[in-house]
Amino acid sequence: MNITGNTILITGGGSGIGRALAEALQAKGNTVIIAGRRQAALDEVTTANPGMQSITLDIQDKAGIESFAREVVARFPSLNVVLNNAGIMKPENVPAADNLAIAEETIATNLLGPIRLTTALLPHLIAQPRAAVLTVSSGLAFVPLAATPTYSATKAAIHSWSLGLRQQLKGTSVEVIEIAPPYVQTELLGPHQASDPEAMPLAEFTEEVMSILETQPEATEVIVERCKPLRFAEANGSFAQVFAALSARTH
């Protein structure tokens, strides 16, 4: 992926990894449009970053995604990159039967949302001279966290879907690039996560991601060093050990 001169749509761009990547990509000379449900959060980001644009989007709304895609293409005809970043992560207690609503919301947000949005935008992206679909999975796609089984499952599905999409788009102008974060200092699991010393600082994660994108333009996966123990656990025979260690954690 060429990381400059693009018009990039980033979902979940009002906070966390989405905001950090939006700001980093704008600094590289890209036109950036952020999307999310909370207009106030989007306004805060665009005010702090003159030139950045925003459009509201409820990634769970099937019909809304279709109309959103039409709007973003009409407003930004040079759009050639979509970064599917929006996601939620909530603990579930399956034996207590308090999980079903969380599971359905998580699947709608983390899995159906990116599939629906990418599908809606793909005819436009294929028509561009160069384009890219970026998906955000997780280290938990490769070694699940028992406390968040549906989140982990959706991220495993995003990994698999990215592989299939990449194969189907061979011979087109559209690249498919998967970004798999480790545990990062954001508020995905709540405010405590943003200062958890066990989590990777957001600035460090963003810098490493941007470095990989810039120095490895042919990369299909962006795996920072902190995520490699998860990404390659199955291959190197450490899966059971890593899974047990994750299961012992409270987050």
DSSP label of 40 = H
CB atoms within 10 A of CB 220: 13
Which residues participate in catalysis according to the annotation?
151
**Total residues found in the chain within this entry:** 251
CA-CA-CA-CA dihedral for 155, 159, 160, 165, to nearest 10: 130
- Judge whether residue 251 has pLDDT over 60: no
- Judge whether residue 114 has pLDDT over 60: yes
> How much is the pLDDT for 236?
97
> How much is the pLDDT for 87?
96
Nearest one of 166, 171, 169 to 219, comparing CA atoms: 166
Is residue 249 very low, low, confident or very high in pLDDT (cuts 50, 70, 90)? Answer: confident
> How much is the pLDDT for 22?
98
> How much is the pLDDT for 224?
98
> How much is the pLDDT for 98?
85
Contact 1, 213 (CB under 8 A): yes
Tell which CATH architecture fits domain 7-247. 3-Layer(aba) Sandwich (3.40)
The mean of the pLDDT values for the chain is 96
The span from the CA of 182 to the CA of 180, in Å, is 7
- Judge whether residue 4 has pLDDT over 80: yes
The span from the CA of 4 to the CA of 27, in Å, is 9
- 3: which residues sit within 8 A by CB, 6+ positions away? 25, 28, 30, 210, 213, 214, 217
pLDDT tens-digit map of 82-103:
999 999 999 999 999 889 999 9
> For the residues 2-6, what does the mean pLDDT come to?
96
Extract the tokens encoding 176: 């498919």
Entry pTM: 0.96
- Judge whether residue 71 has pLDDT over 60: yes
SS3 call for 178: strand
- Judge whether residue 156 has pLDDT over 90: yes
- Phi (first) and psi of residue 59, to 5 degrees: -65, -15
